[in-house]
Amino acid sequence: MKEEFIISAYTENTIGLLNRITVIFTRRHVNIESLTVSESALKGISKFTIVVRTERALVEKIVQQIEKLVEVLKAFYHTNDEMIYQEIALYKVSTETLTSSNTIEQLVRKHGARILEITKDYTVIEKTGHEKETQDLFEGLNLLGVGVLQFIRSGRIAITRSPIEKLSEFLKVRDAILSKQDD
């Protein structure tokens, strides 16, 4: 049975690594639903956050393959329930449409969105939330006849619900092993 999983891979920041990671998914015919790469809390370490919809056995194999890459320190997979996650969406609408009625402002407030920038030609609205929440605002704006000029949603960002970050534990064990090898 297919489920949605969030894969977190902690890596060195190396040219070409993104390509080598995505090839692992391509070979297994698994589509990447969302991909975000950023610095992690550890200096010099990047974090890939990858969302896929597949079977558990296949995601386990994918994580094992990712970990075989030299630049990858550790990779994990989680279900949505094990993570706290968000996406950000930006909506560009005509300022004239926005100011012609307070209905749009009410919709923006109802969805917990905020206005980032207003010019005479356009207004940019920002909404942070889960994919369904950002999509609901997009559809709501279109239903009001706003005519969204541009819409973009980021990839997912996520952290574990667990109070202990598994990467920190992994690095402690690895460092202990390496120090024993140096003796």
From first to last of its 183 residues, the chain has per-residue pLDDT tens of 999 999 999 999 999 999 999 999 999 999 999 999 999 888 888 999 999 999 999 999 999 999 999 999 999 999 999 999 999 999 999 998 888 878 888 999 999 999 999 999 999 999 999 999 999 999 999 988 878 999 999 999 999 887 666 666 766 666 666 666 666
Co-location of 9 and 75 in the same domain: yes
Tell me what pLDDT residue 177 has. Answer: 65
Going by C-beta distance under 8 Å and a sequence separation of 6 or more, which residues neighbour residue 67? Answer: 74, 75
Residue 77 pairs in a beta bridge with 7
Co-location of 56 and 99 in the same domain: no
Co-location of 8 and 79 in the same domain: yes
Residue 125 pairs in a beta bridge with 91, 115
Co-location of 90 and 51 in the same domain: no
Co-location of 36 and 16 in the same domain: yes
Alpha-carbon span 18 to 40, nearest angstrom? 16
Co-location of 63 and 90 in the same domain: no
Provide the token pair at 138.
Answer: 């997009």
Tell me what pLDDT residue 83 has. Answer: 95
E strand spans, the chain:
3-12, 32-39, 45-54, 72-79, 83-94, 114-118, 122-129, 150-153, 157-160
Tell me what pLDDT residue 42 has. Answer: 80
- The enclosing domain of 25 has a CATH number of 3.30.70.260
Co-location of 80 and 90 in the same domain: no
Co-location of 47 and 35 in the same domain: yes
Range of the domain at 131: 86-153
Alpha-carbon span 5 to 51, nearest angstrom? 6
